Amino acid sequence: MRWRTLCCAILTLSILMPAAGVPVSELTFASGVSVDRIITVDGMERTYRVHVPPAAGSPGELPVLIVLHGGGGNGKQIERTTGFSDLADEEGFIAVYPDGSGRLPKRLTWNAHNCCAYAHAEHIDDVGFISELIGQLIANDPVDPARIYIAGHSNGAMMTFRLACERSDLFAAAAPYAGALNSDTCPAENPVPILIMNGEDDQNVPILGGASPHVGATVEDERIDQPASYAVDTWVAANGCVGNPVVDDSAAAMITTWTDCADDSAVEQLVIHGWEHAWPSIDDGAPIDASRVIWEFVSGYAKPRQA
């Protein structure tokens, strides 16, 4: 069911955690700041960053947006790049920035089918990591399990596709930017409303697909990316959408939307005219602010709540 009114929460200000991270078993949370946490998944220490908005409004559980960095990035970097923490304070949601894995601590990747670098080569279980992270958030934070969303950039967008396909039970909506869906199958058991965004002039992950060297990591991957149309067609089928889409082509972007889909889900493709691979923000000269567009889309959805 689509909704537009966000609930806020009164959060208890507690002891700030050190920047190096603390185990979730020793967890406290602080509002209005970003803190680092550590969990162990399959014997491997994994880290993520959490931003809880300042205490405000009436008590309640908050929506969560998990944001995945691109190849060669990290959680702190994507927090700065996207500005989602400032938006979280404004709109009243929890922003979470997981770290991928890699040989260098700040140049990390995700295992998203055929990409990228260390995580792909070492077969890192990133689906298991994000699934465990969500379980920890539900257990320890004031989160609404029906409103957990996933977004990502580049390699993080590819991981967003993988998570939406393989863990459709967890996510109320998804929003990948500048990534390709490079799997032959998408075993989504539940419809997931999805916003698929690309820059029209992206040279790193071309909208028309094709050979593409990995950008930003410590080693180069040779891969063939599927075109954006493949991801769109896959999700139109997975979400059971029927009928013709609505197309809105403006100077800023072409938006193609399917809304006659199973369980009130939707598929929306947004192609930004004249934009390349970088995260789109008005401050950097983009015609749209991707972070606000993403939040506007995902926040309109919630999974059915268990009785």
3-state secondary structure the chain: CCCCCCCCCCCCCCCCCCCCCEEHHHCCCCECCEEEEEEEECCEEEEEEEEECCCCCCCCCEEEEEEECCCCECHHHHHHHHCHHHHHHHHCCEEEEECCEEEECCEEECCECCECHHHHHCCCCHHHHHHHHHHHHHHHCCEEEEEEEEEEECHHHHHHHHHHHHCCCCCCEEEEECCCCCCCCCCCCCCCCEEEEEECCCCCCCCCCEECCCCCCCCCCCCEECCHHHHHHHHHHHCCCCCCCEEEECCCEEEEEECCCHHHCCEEEEEECCCCCCCCCHHHCCCCCHHHHHHHHHCCCCCCCCC
**pLDDT top residue among 8 and 112:** 112
Break the chain into its structural domains and give their ranges. Answer: 22-298
Q: Which of 4-13, 219-228, 279-288, 298-307 has the lowest mean pLDDT?
A: 4-13
pLDDT tens digit string along 244-286?
999 999 999 999 999 999 999 999 999 999 999 999 999 999 9
Q: Would you state the pLDDT for residue 213?
A: 55
Q: Which of 9-13, 48-52, 77-81, 223-227 has the lowest mean pLDDT?
A: 9-13
Confidence check: pLDDT of 150 > 80 = yes
CATH code of the domain made up of 22-298: 3.40.50.1820
